[in-house]
Structure 1
């Protein structure tokens, strides 16, 4: 039986890496891209080929650049020999007060976190329709698309826009047997905690290694009592791409452990974490520079 073929953008690390591995385990051949993490992409491909016996292609592509998404899609489909599933995952988050957001950052976030998702989906859908493939398109969005945070007008707005966009896309593509859904992670571990302190030093932020880990502090305030893992998101993607979800389209599946349920005071963090006891208004660190251990 011919293996299914999936494109996962931004698969070199974090959530995208977990999705690639889960799909390969389920029998998919994989094509993905990296922006700067070439070593991680190579390691991913090696694991997929040796552990799961599946094909894996990877390419350098910075998807905030014009036409980069279309060029990537063309390469991936050519080498895979087809396409059954597109997972738009590549993205970046920034916190900026709307009065202080640099235009360059605004453009980068819009291009990477919204425009490229839509254009990749359009390219994938056109290919599927031409070749009679009843495939799936899944976007990795964010719980921040449903709940507002200070300094999050642009990134959170992009994710909210995708939540709305897939509803129309599902209507447009449903007659062709193509389903379109989102998976919205909450606070998800995507970085090595030991490297976190060193990365913060590069931004002039000194964190006491003996202070409570922000992941653990936040995790205790989430109803499921932990932060998420890439595998949590990957399991949701595999489900939505499966026949078991054949009657689901135009939906955003939130995988956040209950993070944004009403009454969850996640920003009242103790001292020495992301904020102090004064809550968000007493935040200690300049979050536009903060390379978070988790993504919201």
Structure 2
């Protein structure tokens, strides 16, 4: 770290990948602001672990990121508390799957507002602060390997992640004159909860991954910390996929909503955990 304390804002930091990223950044010396949508107790528990384990400050903010005014508000609250912002991690999101034949318009709009507009508006607010304060900061979006490979019922979520993979290329050009970098981290299958006896998501999945294991939130945290560091100072506009090679050999990842019909039709079920914001 530099002689000036660095500040990171992590959206969707109450559990899973977001919590792993927040803890890892604290381990590397960042003071943290993290947001939650509904899981206040879990968010406070993550904050307490950051304070106790790493001696870093951690601000907890409620944020429903699909609402238009919220992304700018959480950036303002973070800067009001810490005086600056060096790193924004856009992580808050939600998976809703369904055929194009059945997806209702309200769910379509919700996913667009949460998984794309929320990312864009938070990045806009954060980079305006960085520009005005002359901070050569970073924005890192958590997307998905599903943005690179098609699965049935995944037109919206996967499509939005693919869209963000493209969007950052133009955003990187907009921000480069100010020394601000923007990149994506695209997780594949990631263990975001403890296994349960009836949990079909983890059953037999690791052997289908070339590197032989499921990813962890800590893996994602290490990638984010590295991309935000000076060691990656020449990297911008890039999507870094962390999936252990899952999609390289054409092996299907499995998502939520699977039933006997989908298994019979496609040869695999659709069973992916819906991670809370």
Q: TM over 0.5, yes or no?
A: yes
Are 1:245 and 2:232 matched, yes or no?
yes
- Asked whether the 8 Å contact 1:275–1:282 carries over to 2, the reply is no
CA radius of gyration, larger in: 1
RMSD: 2.4
**2-structure distance, mates of 1:215, 1:294:** 15
* TM-score using structure 1 length: 0.86
Alignment of structure 1 residues 33-182 onto 2, 5 Å: 33-182=35-184
**1-structure distance, mates of 2:262, 2:42:** 39
- Asked whether the 8 Å contact 2:262–2:268 carries over to 1, the reply is no
SS of the residue corresponding to residue 118 of structure 1 reads: helix
**2-structure distance, mates of 1:99, 1:74:** 41
How much does 1:275 deviate? 6.0
Question: Using a 3 Å threshold, how does the CA distance of structure 1 residues 165 and 284 change in structure 2: closer, same or farther?
Answer: closer
- Asked whether the 8 Å contact 1:31–1:80 carries over to 2, the reply is no
Report the counterpart of residue 265 of structure 2 in structure 1.
281
* TM-score using structure 2 length: 0.92
Are 1:232 and 2:216 matched, yes or no?
no
SS of the residue corresponding to residue 215 of structure 1 reads: coil
- Asked whether the 8 Å contact 1:214–1:274 carries over to 2, the reply is no
Structure 1: runs of 5 or more not aligned: 195-208
Q: Between Structure 1 and Structure 2, how many residues are aligned? A: 273
SS of the residue corresponding to residue 174 of structure 2 reads: helix
- Asked whether the 8 Å contact 2:94–2:275 carries over to 1, the reply is no
Deviations 1:11-37 (A, max 9, x none): 010000000000000000000111111
Question: Using a 3 Å threshold, how does the CA distance of structure 1 residues 191 and 293 change in structure 2: closer, same or farther?
Answer: farther
